[in-house]
Every structure is written in structure tokens, then in C-alpha cells.
Amino acid sequence: MSHPVSHPVSTREAILAGAEGVLVRRGVDAASVGELAEAAGVTRPTVYAHFPGGKADVVAALVARVRDDVLAAQEIRDTADPLAIARRAITDYLDLTVRHRRVLEVLAQLARTDPAYSSVQAELLDRVHRRNARFLTRLAAEGRAAPVMAPMHVSEAITGVVRRFAERIDEDPEVRGDLVEAAVAAYVALGGLRPCE
């Protein structure tokens, strides 16, 4: 009889998982390395062994993980059907925003007072918006979309929709299906996407 193999969470991942909760609950400035260690079930020296810069390195690692996830989700393989691409992109974007909502809130908090984090936040959003704008511009040139406003504005508007819907899904996961459909419908309408013929 075989037994399932368990894969323990790495110490680094445990620190990041614990830190996320502490940073959201206490705020970056108020949280201490001791609290991050306690939440992860490790000692302060263990936190410093994995993150030599302490709390700043932990926050940077959390933000980098979110950035990498969001940018990876943007790498959707192109298909001949723009509606399928839109559905996949919006669904993934919404799910990622729900999953990383608390870290995104911490990033927004830091971005208000720290120019380095402001740049990270701006770069993340800018890359998402530019990629989406290129997609809509290409479809418009091919006659497969007629955006109701500039493609960059469509992307920014959808980001607002996604953020609000992510809050609602976080509060009540049962509404996810309806809100995914609503977000996709909003994108299709604002982007003026036309079905393949």
C-alpha cells in the first residue's frame, strides 16, 4: 500500500504566507519581524536567514510574486477567437486579483508614500494596460473590434471593474460565476469585440 507523499511548505513560503496576513492586518509600518516570524512558526533569525533585509525584503518578495503571477497570466496563447481570448484573460485577471487582493492593497498603501513601490505599482498596471491596448488595437485594425473609447481607457476601466468584483468575490465566493460573466460582458461591450464569422 502506498502512502501519499506530503510536500512540506518551504520555510521561505511559510514566512511569506504568514507575513501576508500580518501585513494586511497590522500594516507594513506597524508589523515587526517578530510578528512575521511568529505567524510563520519560525524564529526571527530564520526570517533574516531567508530575507536578510528583514521586513523590507519580505514585502519585496510578496510584491514580486504578485507581479510575476499577473504578468504570467497575461501570456495567453493567441487564438483565432478574440472572444475566447477575452474570456480567458478577464477570468484569469479577476481570479488573480482575488487571490492577491491583500498584497495588492499593501502595495497600494506603500505606493502612496514610497516612490519605489509607486514605480512597481505603476509598472505592473502599465504593462497590463499596454498589452491589452495592443490586443484591442490589433483587433480593431483587423475589423474584429470597435472599442467604444481608446483601448488604453478600456483596459483601465476593466481594471476598475475587476478590482471591485474581486472585493465582492472575496466577501462572498458564491458570486464569482455571475461576476466573471459580468466582467467579460463589460470587456466585450467596451472593447466592441465581434464574434468570429
- For 101, 137, 142, 176, 193, the CA distances from 77, given in Å and listed in that order, are 25, 17, 18, 24, 18
Distance, in Å, from the CA atom of 156 to the CA atom of 122, rounded to the nearest integer, reads 12
Distance, in Å, from the CA atom of 191 to the CA atom of 158, rounded to the nearest integer, reads 10
In this prediction, residue 8 carries a pLDDT of 52
Same domain? For 81 and 153 the reply is yes
Instruction: Provide the number of structural domains found in the chain.
Output: 2
Same domain? For 142 and 169 the reply is yes
Per-residue pLDDT tens over the stretch 148-195:
999 999 999 999 999 999 999 999 999 999 999 999 999 999 999 987
Per-residue pLDDT tens over the stretch 52-76:
999 989 988 998 888 888 878 777 6
- For 7, 91, 164, 185, the CA distances from 179, given in Å and listed in that order, are 34, 10, 10, 10
Same domain? For 40 and 103 the reply is no
Same domain? For 173 and 110 the reply is yes
Per-residue pLDDT tens over the stretch 70-118:
878 777 666 678 899 889 989 999 999 999 988 888 888 888 998 988 8
Distance, in Å, from the CA atom of 142 to the CA atom of 139, rounded to the nearest integer, reads 5
CA angle, residues 76, 10, 119, in degrees to nearest 5: 50
